[in-house]
Amino acid sequence: MDYQRMDNVCKEEVYKSLFLEHAEHLRNFITYKSGDIELARDLVQEAFVKMWQNCKKVKPTKAKSYLFTIANNLFLNTVQREKVKLKFETSKSHTHDIKSPQYLMEEEEFRVRLEQAISALPEDLRIVFLMNRIDKKKYREIAELLNISTKAVEKRMSKALLALRKIHKNV
Amino acid sequence: MSYKEELYTKWIAGTLTDDELKSLEDSGELAELQRIMDVGRQLQLPKYNHEEEFAYLINARKEKQTFSNQYSRVLIGLAAGLALFFFIRMAFTSSLEEISAPYGEVAQIALGDGSAVTLNAGSTLEYNRKQWKNSRSVSLEGEGFFAVSEGTPFVVNTNNGRIKVLGTAFNIRSWSDNLYVECYTGSVEVTSASGISDTLFQRQSINIVNNTLGAVQNIQHQKPHWSTGNSRFYKERVASVLAEIGRQFDVEIKHPNIEDRFSGAFSHKSLQAALREVCKPLNLNYHIDLATKSVTISQE
Show me where the domains of chain B are located.
Answer: 3-37, 49-93, 96-226, 229-299
Give the residue on A whose Cα is nearest the Cα of B49: A24
- ipTM attached to this prediction: 0.85
Residue A90 and residue B54: Cβ atoms within 8 Å? no
* Cα–Cα distances in angstroms (integers) from residue B163 to residues A69, A110, B153, B195, in the given order: 51, 70, 10, 11
Mutate to test the interface with B, among A154, A156, A169 (most CBs of B within 10 A): A154
pLDDT for A32-80, tens place per residue?
988 888 889 999 999 999 999 999 889 998 899 999 999 988 888 765 5
* Predicted pLDDT of residue A171: 46
Please determine whether the domains at B96-226 and B229-299 fall in the same fold group of CATH: no
A25 falls within a domain: yes
Q: What is the pLDDT of residue A142?
A: 94
Touching B: A residues 107-126, CB under 8 Å: 107, 110-111, 114-115, 118
Write out chain A residues lying below 8 Å of B57, CB-based: 19, 45, 48-49
Output the CA angle A40-A43-A46, nearest 5 degrees. Answer: 155
CB contact under 8 A, B36 and A93: no
Chosen domain end from A29, A46, A78: A78
Distance from CA of A6 to the nearest CA of B (A): 21
Within a domain: residue A87? no
Q: Do B33 and A48 touch (CB under 8 A)?
A: no
> Is residue A3 less than 8 Å (CB to CB) from chain B?
no
Smallest CA–CA distance, residue A41 to chain B, in Å, is 8
Whether A50 and chain B come into contact, CB under 8 Å, resolves to no
Chain B touched by A141 (CB under 8 Å)? no
Within-domain flag for A147 = yes
Phi, psi at residue B108, to the nearest 5°? Answer: -110, 135
CB proximity under 8 Å: A 13-42 to B? 16, 19-20, 23-24, 27-28, 31, 37, 41-42
CB atoms within 10 A of CB B208: 24
Q: Which of B160, B300, B173 is nearest to B247 (CA)?
A: B173
Q: Do A65 and A112 belong together in one domain?
A: no
Does the distance separating the beta carbons of B57 and A49 come in below 8 Å?
A: yes
Query: Which uninterrupted H or E stretch holds B56?
Result: helix B50-92
Relative to beta strand B136-148, strand B168-175 is antiparallel
Could you please report the per-residue DSSP string of B240-276? HHHHHHHHHHT-EEE------EEEEEEESS-HHHHHH
3-state secondary structure of A21: helix
The candidate with the shortest Cα–Cα distance to B282, out of B297, B267, B260, is B260
CB contact under 8 A, B50 and A23: yes
Please provide the distance, in angstroms rounded to a whole number, between the alpha carbons at the two ends of chain A.
47
Is the CB of A158 less than 8 angstroms away from the CB of B12?
yes
Please tell me whether residues A12 and A73 are part of one structural domain: yes
Task: Examine residue A13 and state whether it is found in any structural domain, yes or no.
Answer: yes
In this structure, which topology does domain B96-226 adopt according to CATH?
Jelly Rolls (2.60.120)
Nearest to B32 among A78, A111, A165 (CB): A165
* Sign of the alpha-carbon dihedral angle for A99, A104, A110, A112: positive
Residue A83 domain flag: no
Partner-chain residue, chosen from B29, B42, B60, that has the shortest CB–CB distance to A49 = B60
Residues from chain A that touch B12, judged by Cβ atoms under 8 A, are: 139, 154, 157-158, 161
Q: Are residues A70 and A120 in the same domain?
A: no
CB contact under 8 A, A45 and B29: no
* Nearest CA-CA distance, residue B69 and chain A, Å: 13
Q: Which domain range does residue A21 map to?
A: 2-78
DSSP state of A81: -
**CATH for B229-299?**
3.55.50.30
The number of domains in chain A is 2
Question: Where residue A133 sits, what CATH number does that domain have?
Answer: 1.10.10.10
User: Does the beta-carbon distance from B57 to A45 stay under 8 Å?
Assistant: yes
Please identify, among A78, A109, A130, the residue that sits at the C-terminal boundary of a domain: A78
By C-alpha distance, which of A73, A31, A65 is closest to A147? A65
Asked if the Cβ–Cβ distance from A41 to B53 is below 8 Å, we say: yes
pLDDT (tens, 9 = 90+) of chain B, 300 residues, equals 688 889 999 999 889 999 999 999 998 889 999 999 988 988 889 889 998 899 889 888 887 765 555 566 666 667 666 666 665 555 554 567 888 888 888 888 888 788 889 899 889 998 887 778 788 899 999 999 998 888 888 999 998 899 988 778 999 999 888 899 999 988 899 998 888 888 999 999 999 988 888 889 999 888 898 888 889 888 888 999 999 999 998 899 999 988 888 989 999 888 999 999 999 988 899 998 888 889 999 987
